[in-house]
Structure 1
Amino acid sequence: MTIKGVLFDFSGTLFRIEPARDWLRAALDARGSALPEAELAGYAERLAAAGALPGGSSPQRMPPGLAGLWKTRDESAERHRAAYTGLARQVELPDPGLYDALYERHMRPAAWRPYPDAAEVLRTLRERGVGIAVVSNIGWDPRPVFRAHGLDAWVDGYALSYEHGVQKPDVRLFRVACDALGTAPGDVLMVGDDKVADGGAANLGCAVHFVDHLPVAERPAGLRPVLGLIE
Structure 2
Amino acid sequence: MKSLQFDFSTVRAVTFDAGGTLLTPHPSVGEVYAEILRGYDIIRNPLELESAFQSAFSSISKNPAVLDPDEREKDFWRQVVRETMKESPIPTSQFDNIFINMWDSFSHADRWRVFDGSHEILKTLRDRGYWLGVLSNWDQRLHSVLEETGLSDLVESVVISVEVGVEKPDSGIFRAAETMSGMPPDALLHVGDSRHHDLVGARDAGWSGILIRNDEGPADPPSIGRLADLIDVLPGPRSPAQEIV
For Structure 1 versus Structure 2, the TM-score category normalised by the shorter chain is: 0.7 to 0.9
The answer for the alignment partner of 1:23 in structure 2 is 32
Between the aligned partners of 2:117 and 2:178, the Cα distance in structure 1 is 24
Shift in CA distance, 138/70, structure 1 to aligned 2, threshold 3 Å: farther
The answer for the alignment partner of 2:196 in structure 1 is 196
The answer for the alignment partner of 1:69 in structure 2 is 64
Shift in CA distance, 69/149, structure 1 to aligned 2, threshold 3 Å: same
Cα deviation for residue 118 of structure 1 reads 0.6
Cα deviation for residue 182 of structure 1 reads 1.4
Q: Percent identity?
A: 24
The answer for the alignment partner of 2:22 in structure 1 is 14
* Mapped pair 1:137 → 2:137: yes
- Aligned partners of 2:17 and 2:192 also within 8 Å: yes
Cα deviation for residue 173 of structure 1 reads 0.2
Q: Deviations over 1:136-187 (max 9, x none)?
A: 1112331211221122111100110000110000011011112111121211
User: Which 4+ runs in 1 deviate beyond 6 A?
Assistant: none
The answer for the alignment partner of 1:121 in structure 2 is 121
- Aligned partners of 1:125 and 1:227 also within 8 Å: yes
- Aligned partners of 1:185 and 1:204 also within 8 Å: yes
* Paired residue secondary structure (1:3): coil
Question: Greater CA radius of gyration, 1 or 2?
Answer: 2
The answer for the alignment partner of 1:164 in structure 2 is 164
Tell me the TM-score normalised to structure 2 length: 0.74
* Paired residue secondary structure (1:7): strand
- Aligned partners of 2:193 and 2:211 also within 8 Å: yes
The answer for the alignment partner of 2:221 in structure 1 is none
The answer for the alignment partner of 2:77 in structure 1 is 81
Question: What is the total number of aligned residue pairs between the two structures?
Answer: 209
- Aligned partners of 2:108 and 2:148 also within 8 Å: no
Cα deviation for residue 108 of structure 1 reads 2.1
Unpaired runs of 5+ residues, structure 1, are 52-56, 216-220
Which of 217, 230, 240 is the aligned partner of 1:226?
A: 230
Shift in CA distance, 120/67, structure 1 to aligned 2, threshold 3 Å: closer
Q: What's the RMSD between the two structures over aligned residues?
A: 2.9
Aligned AA for 2:123? R
- Aligned partners of 1:76 and 1:165 also within 8 Å: no
Q: Deviations over 1:207-230 (max 9, x none)?
A: 111112589xxxxx8111212221
Tell me the TM-score normalised to structure 1 length: 0.78
Shift in CA distance, 122/67, structure 1 to aligned 2, threshold 3 Å: closer
Unpaired runs of 5+ residues, structure 2, are 1-8, 217-224, 236-245
